[in-house]
Chains A and B, each alone.
Chain A
């Protein structure tokens, strides 16, 4: 019986094969026969299951079926196509299957649909600009607490505007201290060497206070006088810059850019740091106390570097020499010249030429100088009676070797000041040089990869951003008059503030961070020996701020 089954099976296959070879059949016919044959083989194999079938015969039959399939493939394949083995994987089959005209037309149709959709969307839904433009912005949302309470009429200490003078004392507050909007792009792109002409335009929310901060009396500061600036939304950056050096050659090229317009002043570290990179919520005191460097200025500034060192380990670039110098009108942002003098600024910084893996990496020392001229006015007539010298000198040292970072900055101001009362000042009133001094020391420690280019640019499918935490402590002092001798000058004491800030920044998305700062501010004693509610002996505070950008 088994012998009969085997013979029948072999007979069926041979019959099919012989008929195949005997007639030049079409592929369809061949396929039909193959299917019938497969069924027969299956049927007979099932019938033969219990019995002992000669494995060699089955193997032979399988080989014949395989050859038949290959014959079918060969007939079905278009001219020029490679015949693949019957047991080849799908990838190999795909690679050896030519596309038909219908396939190509299908792809063409898909492309046409895509082009149409893109063109329509572009026309109807995509905003356009005349020149290449990047739009960005930063917003801060803050909650704060302090003890003792902030006295009525004292500003809320917001850093970027929106300063409010409250009518009654308060311990807590909610603020949006800063909201900025920026536009940047190329006016002319030099494809050959990258000597581009670019522009920058920025806006920030301005003062929005309801009281008059110029008033000397706390109570009258809350009367609701309109902001003297009258602006809610001020221009911050308005500049165009030209690169004199190629910018597309690689990191080993030196840089040199002339910027014209309203811009940050190249003085020290903190005065140039924008909200995005500054670790501490409040800027160092001297950056807001020393005129000239505490605001943006309008003028011409050249920034460049030379003696470039590139460590190809990770394309780490350092420059032995960085420099910036320029001339500005000295009146501050959005204001024309207010006298016949120009202010001059210069900065030089040296970075140790070290490899990326060296402990001396990113050790930078800088010196800055600002020569300005202030208008001294008779406060009775409001007439400018003298043009006074105002100079700023600074020294800074920065060491950032993750996870550690240390920054120290020193700045000193020298301002001609009337010896007598400004209300009675004349062109010949004598002046003295008032020296003011500010400095801070910042220690930071970072966990996470926020500041590593390699890690934050990792290829990911999702909206990946390495979570990072940055803890720091900062000691910041400012003395508005360094004489500190009440007998010689009463105002020279009671004008020094020392702020210790302990903070933690959590970076949890590309442009968003949560900042928590604990502050302890201590004021020196005034000449009268009595502290006031406006200027208490010490104040402690807590600030929690979300900062996000787009």
Chain B
């Protein structure tokens, strides 16, 4: 009797357990592609903005690409940003990342995460040093010993450290606290922090913060974002990866069209992480959208990645060396550019972030 009961309980548990296991497809295409963004909209909304991969989600480009194949796209937006995306991937829950920042990308690889970089998701951009509206600080030096906020573990942390480095300081000269984007804005409003890097225009319009310093499109301060594919996924489904990359390049092309500037700014602003005015003013200095919306893995991308690795080690955020050998896989991008006849559409930059090969005119591309 006891054995029978025990066997019945075991069987029930096994059945429940088996039922909960993820379904495994025997086909040569996945049933689902899990695409992750290192961020989320204000209030935990599943939205992202500020890049052409965001457009791929906002305008349902990837969903449409695989609709006919019956492949479901599972979009993931992590309020925990880049580090959370790493955790998801480390646990086998993400296939593709749309726009990972340099710091979490590098520390992920340093600790054994294996992925292939297939595109650059963004580059350049302005950077601002922002203080509460009532602050008397005029320079970074005026804030020495004070509280600066950054979202630790994200690309923003390296950006802040570069700012400090630029003015001859290190993180030890300040009290650096970790806050996410929304909390940083709130902390500026309540004077709980003394400074941070954030796009200031919305905060200025609301009278709660002001920018004291601004760096425009400095390749030494900001670094490109990255689109990567998990190594296992890439090895298993190369055709699927190619379709994702080709579609993304198409979206990148669309995103660089001047006629679409306003449409994408307004779509990006729906996430709330940055206000419309922030996009509008931050991008006012960009007459050709291809400057920032550029998917190329050119010399600048590679040199930036190497520099970020060096900085990450210098700031003691990783202990191990990181090699870029075999990390960047440009074949999908090259194929997409060829297929779409966009080989010379984007400008290519050298290691210093200067134009090496000018882009062809947009008119010709059209």
> By the criterion CB–CB under 8 Å, are A518 and B152 in contact?
no
A 448-460 to B, binary, CB cutoff 8 A, 1 in contact else 0: 1100111101111
Tell me which residues across on chain A come within 8 A of B86, comparing CB atoms.
Answer: 313-314, 356
Query: Which of these, B20, B45, B111, contacts A467 with CB under 8 Å?
Result: B20
| Inter-subunit contact B83/A313 (CB<8 Å) | yes
A147 to chain B, nearest CB (A): 8
List residues of A (69-96) whose CB comes within 8 Å of B's CBs: 88-89, 91-92, 94-95
A457 touches B79 (CB 8 A): yes
Closest B residue to A403 by CB, please name it.
Answer: B91
| B residues near A249, Cβ cutoff 8 Å | 175-178
A460→B79 contact, CB < 8 A: no
Say whether A68 faces chain B, with CB atoms less than 8 Å apart: no
User: Which of B74-96 touch A at CB < 8 Å?
Assistant: 76-80, 83-88, 90-91, 93
Determine how close the nearest CB of chain A comes to the CB of B208; give it in whole angstroms. Answer: 16
Tell me the A443-478 residues at the B interface (CB within 8 Å).
Answer: 447-449, 452-455, 457-461, 467, 469, 471
CA of A448 to CA of B84, assembled, Å: 16
Given contacts A312-B107, A461-B46, contact A95 B16 (CB under 8 A): no
Task: Give bound CA distance, A153 to B289, whole Å.
Answer: 81
Q: How many angstroms between the C-alpha atoms of A446 and B113 in the bound complex? A: 22
With contacts defined as CB atoms under 8 Å apart, how many contacts are there between chain A and chain B in the complex? Answer: 153
Contacts of B45 in A (CB 8 A): 459, 461
Nearest-neighbor residue (CB-CB) of A250 within chain B: B178
The reply to whether A454 and B5 form a contact with Cβ atoms under 8 Å apart is no
Given contacts A455-B93, A469-B17, A542-B9, contact A312 B318 (CB under 8 A): yes
**Contact B85 A454, beta carbon cutoff 8 Å:** yes
The digit string for A226-264, where 1 denotes a CB below 8 A from any CB of B, is 000000000000000000000011110000000000000
Q: Which range contains the number of B residues in contact with the other chain?
A: 35 or more
Q: Which residue of A lies closest to B44 (CB)?
A: A459
Kindly identify, within residues 425 to 450 of chain A, every residue whose CB is under 8 Å from any CB belonging to chain B: 447-449
**Interface range on chain A: under 10, 10 to 19, 20 to 34, or 35 or more?**
35 or more
Task: Take A95-B262, A313-B113, A455-B93 as given contacts and tell me if A471 and B17 are in contact as well, using a CB distance cutoff of 8 Å.
Answer: yes
A461 to chain B minimum Cβ distance, whole angstroms, is 7
What chain A residues lie within 8 Å of B80 (beta carbons)?
A: 314-315, 453-454, 457
Query: A89 near B262 (CB under 8 angstroms)?
Result: yes
Q: How far is the CA of A89 from the CA of B262 in the complex (A)?
A: 9
Contact call A504/B16, Cβ cutoff below 8 A = yes
Name the B residues within 8 Å of A458 (CB-CB): 40, 46, 76-79
Q: How far is the CA of A311 from the CA of B259 in the complex (A)?
A: 44
Residue of A nearest to B258 (CB): A92
Contact with A along B101-134 (1 / 0, CB 8 A): 0011001101111000000000000000000000
**Contact status of A504 and B263, CB under 8 A, knowing A313-B113, A459-B44:** no
- Can you name the residue of chain B whose Cβ is closest to the Cβ of A89? B263
Complex CA–CA separation, A516 to B17 (angstroms): 13
Known: A193-B175, A313-B83. 15 other contacts (CB 8 A): A88-B259, A312-B104, A313-B110, A356-B86, A357-B113, A358-B112, A402-B91, A449-B91, A453-B80, A454-B84, A457-B78, A458-B40, A459-B79, A469-B16, A502-B10
Tell me the B residues contacting A by CB distance below 8 Å: 2, 5-6, 9-10, 13, 16-17, 20-21, 40-41, 44-47, 76-80, 83-88, 90-91, 93, 103-104, 107-108, 110-113, 147, 152-153, 175-178, 190, 192, 259-263, 265-266, 280, 317-318
Question: What are 11 A-B contacts defined by CB distance under 8 Å?
Answer: A191-B192, A312-B104, A312-B153, A313-B110, A314-B153, A454-B78, A454-B84, A454-B88, A457-B44, A471-B17, A504-B16
